[in-house]
Amino acid sequence: MLNIRIERTASPKEKPKKGEKLSFGHIFTDHMFVMNYTEGKGWHDPRIVPFEKISLSPAAMVFHYGQEMFEGLKAYRDDKGNAYLFRPDMNAKRANDSNDRLCIPRIPEEDFVQAVKEVVNVDRDWIPTDPGTSLYIRPFIIATDEFLGVAPSKTYLFIIILSPSGAYYESGLAPVGIWIEDEYVRAVKGGIGFAKTGGNYAASLIAQVKAHDGGFSQVLWLDGVHRKYIEEVGAMNIFFKIKGKILTPMLNGSILPGVTRNSVLQLARHWGMDVEERRISVDELLDAAHDGTLEEVFGTGTAAVVSPVGKLRFKDEIINIGNGGIGEVTQKLYDTITGIQWGKLDDPFGWRVTL
Ligand SMILES: *Cc1c(COP(=O)(O)O)cnc(C)c1O
């Protein structure tokens, strides 16, 4: 249990108004959570303070070798003013998996969840209430030693910032186009692909720019060794429905284990659907598209929840999926997960955490 000191701002900012258009990740709430780590002392001095700039040495290790990790989750509010988190224990656990891989000290999972809950509660009035809106929560840890040697840092900062964000799809769920990348790769087994860390994103930008230039909104990565097996989308895991069966690549060390992915798998199994986590080659996907058995494609992630894919590009070929609309299972998963998140549906798995 953390003993969190709270220092409230003397000059609260103006909150976005009801009905005001919110984009993603540009505005931040009045407060943030901060906790220090020092070797020998452990994590200490947990505090909630006014959102402000932080001061670091230009030699701080994070700037040079990228020793950092992050998480992403959301707080939701219903019509009655109740506020919820969705499976924050999964983020706390994954944070430590990332920490272990990156030689960052672990944070007790109950402390992680407590810190998220307390800072969100302090800025609870910042959780937007318009349909589809939420408060995006970004916990992250950075290495702060003033040292240019390559080694794990001996000091860190754990910070949680909060950003009210709009509905991912302003005009309702809409299919996106995806670029299957055949030149660059994101991660390989043994690397850091399963960790949520900035380095993976730095490595991905060039392909994202390429995909955007080609008129596609996201990149679908192939495995780094054979360049043959499907991995995941930029910030989403990927699912296919082929001949009625739900398929997704198995977790293999180079794929990020999404909380939404896990939730989709549990729901689909609960509904009695045929579900497989296994290796899926791009050829299998193309074959299914050619013989008309590729029924649905969707991405999963906290930001969009479930994102229908309307077309895929691989080399010179563009594949249209279904009739370009939203698949039945895609829609049902989206409705069910968002219904649980916003407190509108029963929560048979105990995923919703009331704040
Ligand atoms: C965060 C992330 C996801 C999605 O994970 P969720 O927990 O469902 O939000 C998928 N892929 C990558 C690379 C990610 O960083």
DSSP 165-212: E--SSTTS---EEEEE-SS-----TTTTTTS--HHHHHHHHHHHHHHH
Instruction: State the residue range of the domain holding 161.
Output: 5-165
Residue of 93, 137, 196 best suited for mutating to test ligand 1, as the one with most atoms within 8 Å of CB: 196
The two three-digit tokens of residue 339, written as one number: 């219904």
Could you tell me the distance, in angstroms and rounded to a whole number, from the CA of residue 201 to the centre of ligand 1?
11
Are residues 196 and 303 both part of a single domain?
A: yes
Structural domain ending residue among the three candidates 165, 189, 209: 165
Residue 302 Cα to ligand 1 middle (Å): 7
Pick out the chain residues at pLDDT < 50: none
> In terms of domains, do 181 and 250 share one?
yes
Concatenate the DSSP letters of all residues of 137-157 into one string: EEEEEEE--B--SSS--SEEE
The confidence score (pLDDT) of residue 139 equals: 98
Report the nearest-CA residue for atom 14 of ligand 1: 235
Q: For ligand 1, say whether the CB of 260 is within 6 Å of any of its atoms.
A: yes
107 CB near ligand 1 (under 6 Å): no
Tell me the CB-side half-sphere exposure of residue 174, using CA atoms within 13 A.
8
Ligand 1 in contact with 87 (CB < 6 A)?
no
Residue pair 81/109 in contact (Cβ under 8 Å)? The answer is: no
Q: Which of 86, 178, 236 to mutate to test the pocket of ligand 1 (most atoms within 8 A of CB)?
A: 236
Give the model's pLDDT for residue 171.
63
Which residue reads 């303070």 in tokens? 49
- Is 249 a pocket residue for ligand 1 (Cβ < 6 Å)? no
Q: Which residues pair with 173 in a beta bridge?
A: none
Q: What does the DSSP assignment read for 308-345?
A: EEEEEEETTEEEE-TTSS--HHHHHHHHHHHHHHTT-S
Residue 120's region, left for phi above 0, alpha for psi from -120 to 50, else beta, is: alpha
Q: Return d(Cα 284, Cα 169) in angstroms, integer.
A: 30
- 155 and 230 co-located in one domain: no
Distance (Å, whole) CA 280 – CA 216: 22
In a domain? residue 353: no
Taking a C-beta distance cutoff of 8 angstroms, is the pair 310, 175 a contact? yes
Question: How far is ligand 1, taken at its centre, from the CA of residue 237, in Å?
Answer: 7
HSE at residue 195, side-chain half, CA atoms within 13 A, is 25
* Ligand 1 pocket, residue 198 CB under 6 Å: no
Q: Which pTM was predicted?
A: 0.96
The domain boundary residue, chosen from 165, 190, 208: 165
Return the pLDDT at 170: 66
256 Cβ below 6 A of ligand 1 = yes
247-281 b/e (C-beta count within 10 Å ≥ 16 → b): bbbebeebbbbbbbbbbbbebbeeeeeebeeeebe
Which CATH number covers residue 20?
A: 3.30.470.10
Whether ligand 1 lies within 6 angstroms of the CB of 301 is answered as yes
User: Which pLDDT score, from 0 to 100, does residue 167 have?
Assistant: 80
Tokens representing 7?
A: 């220092």
CA end-to-end span of the chain = 17
Number of domains in the chain: 2
Pick from 131, 165, 199: which residue ends a domain? 165
Q: Say whether both 281 and 245 belong to one domain.
A: yes
Ligand 1 atom at minimal distance to the Cα of residue 302: 9
Residue 86 corresponds to which tokens in the numbers above? 């969705």
Please say whether the beta carbons of 209 and 112 come within 8 A.
no
The residue whose CA has the least distance to atom 12 of ligand 1 is 235
Q: Is the CB of 263 under 6 A from ligand 1?
A: no
Mutational pocket test of ligand 1: of 140, 192, 302, the residue with most ligand atoms within 8 Å of the beta carbon: 302
CA of 28 to the centre of ligand 1 (A): 21
12 lines ligand 1 (CB under 6 A): no
Q: Are residues 303 and 332 in the same domain?
A: yes
